[in-house]
Amino acid sequence: NDRNRIYPNEINDLAKEVFPPCMRSIHDTLRRDHHLKHYGRLHYGLFLKSAGLKMEDSIEFFRSEMSIHNPEKFQKEYSYAIRYIYGREGKRVQLSAYSCQKIINGCAPGPSDTHGCPFKHFDTKHLKAMLVRYGISDEEQISEIVQLVTKEGNATGACAKYFSIKHRVTEDFSTIYHPNQFLTEARKVLLT
């Protein structure tokens, strides 16, 4: 089992089990709308690349999610974007996945955007609803997470708290600084 590689048919389960909320939330929108706007596509595509999804697999994954409604649009927009993410188009640079700081301080999502950090960009009502949806049902735990955001403006701390609760780590998980770090740590917990 090569843990440096992931496959399209695993993504749904991985999203539920081990993706950080920012990426799970993009994934959920993709599944629901079969569409992602530019930054969502970029952040999620780069995250999946870093998680070990090969370019061909990424094209297959996005195509199976998109082409349901619009095959031509996929060809025009997405397959170029994916090849760009993998350094095969445009300036052919090796782009790396966005860190939490970049996502948190980068351009804020508009109403129909999907990118961004839920602990920074969601209002309290939506944040609470998301936590419940993602399996945190205890009122006290929810308010602990929410307070880190509302009282301290500590998005990555709130994410670390979410991690500790969701993955049942007894000692408080110290810090989250990158969505791919969240993923790696979550998979470690799952394997132990």
Of the candidates 42, 148, 176, 186, which one interacts with ligand SF4 according to CB under 6 A? 176
Considering Cα of 157, then 162, then 164, then 165, what sign does the dihedral take? Answer: positive
Of the candidates 29, 165, 179, 185, which one interacts with ligand SF4 according to CB under 6 A? 179
| Helix H or strand E encompassing 162 | helix 155-166
Of the candidates 20, 40, 45, 109, which one interacts with ligand SF4 according to CB under 6 A? 20
Sites for ligand SF4 among residues 68-97 (CB under 6 A)? none
Examine residue 118 and tell whether it contacts ligand SF4 (CB under 6 A).
yes
Of the candidates 51, 155, 165, 186, which one interacts with ligand SF4 according to CB under 6 A? 155
Examine residue 21 and tell whether it contacts ligand SF4 (CB under 6 A).
yes
Q: Burial, 103: exposed, middle or buried (Cβ in 10 Å; 0-12, 13-18, 19+)?
A: buried
Which of 131/155 has CB closer to ligand SF4? 155
Give the integer Cα–Cα distance in Å for 135 and 149.
19
Examine residue 159 and tell whether it contacts ligand SF4 (CB under 6 A).
yes
The DSSP-derived string for 89-156 is STT-----PPPHHHHHHSPPP-TT---S-HHHHS-HHHHHHHHHHTT---HHHHHHHHHHHHTT--HH
The answer to whether residues 73 and 81 touch, using CB atoms and an 8 Å cutoff, is no
User: Contact letters (x/-) for ligand SF4, 29-68, by CB under 6 A?
Assistant: ----------------------------------------
Q: How far is the CB of 2 from ligand SF4 (least distance, A)?
A: 24
